[in-house]
Amino acid sequence: MKGRSPLRGSVVLLSGGMDSATCLALAARDAKPVHALTVVYGQRHAREAASAKRLVRHFRAVEHRTVRLPIQSLLPSALTDRRRPLPSRRGHPSRGPIPATYVPARNTILLALALAFAEARRCRSIYIGANAVDYSGYPDCRPEFLTAFERLAARATRVAVEEGRPVHVVAPLLRKSKAGIVREGEKLGVPWGLTWSCYRGGRRPCGHCDACRLRRKGFAEAGIQDPLVGS
């Protein structure tokens, strides 16, 4: 189908955490117009969704959609089930087997929704904050997963098959350490105070869960003060 406008802009998967906030900053610099997509899948830290809203305003995305996906009953995970204990063991969450906060096929679902959104808006790319360094335990944060999804996307949509314009998956943080992400975000002016990481949804970060520890470590190694923690 010749003559249709080329694809432009991006869909950014935006949870409201520091990784997706940095992704949003990158897309706002490199892949405008930006359409943000927040998927609330019953995770405990729904507070992230409020952060997402503020980040969208800050970076002037042209659109922000929130999809509520009530899949807790399908998926047992410590991230979606309040009866399961959250992991807060010492050290690095990527050690050992796949963590208890793993949600079955989570990134497959998120990317599938982003793909639909990208096709509907004729976007060129999907930005996802997947990270294979700190989340090496998650199968769907690995480069081979993302490559397989991109191959799927090239066969899945009308824009790809009929127009020969596949949607690309961009994972700019894939091989960065948490400190590297903090440095990158800092350069791009990410307002860290608007982001949220803690797995528990309290008023202040708990400081003990894997997400809090990882965040603290990242800021410490980057030598930057986290405004959420206070000095």
Stretch that binds its own copies, among 45-53, 63-71, 207-215, 217-225 (CB under 8 A): 63-71
Dihedral sign of CA atoms 92, 97, 103, 109 in order: positive
Q: Backbone phi, then psi, for 10, in 5-degree steps?
A: -145, 155
Extract the tokens encoding 63. 């659109």
| Least distance (Å) between residue 162 CB and its own copies | 6
CB 209 within 8 A of CB 173: no
Extract the tokens encoding 215. 């965040």
| Least distance (Å) between residue 89 CB and its own copies | 19
- Please count the other Cβ atoms lying within 10 Å of the Cβ belonging to residue 226: 20
Which residues from 176-205 bind its own copies, rule CB under 8 A? none
For its own copies, the binding residue among 30, 62, 76, 84 (CB under 8 A) is 76
Residue 4 or 60: which CB sits closer to its own copies? 4
Number of residues interacting with its own copies: please give it, by CB under 8 A: 48
Fill in the DSSP letter of residue 223. T
113 binds its own copies (CB under 8 A): yes
109 binds its own copies (CB under 8 A): yes
Extract the tokens encoding 145. 């997963």
148 binds its own copies (CB under 8 A): yes
| Least distance (Å) between residue 108 CB and its own copies | 4
Stretch that binds its own copies, among 24-32, 54-62, 117-125, 213-221 (CB under 8 A): 117-125
97 binds its own copies (CB under 8 A): yes
Fill in the DSSP letter of residue 175. T
The alpha-carbon radius of gyration of the chain (Å, integer) is 17
CB 13 within 8 A of CB 110: yes
What is the identity of the amino acid at 187?
Answer: K
Which residues are near its own copies by CB under 8 A?
A: 1, 37, 65, 67-71, 73-76, 97-98, 102-109, 111-113, 115-117, 119-120, 139-140, 142, 144-145, 148-149, 151-158, 160-162
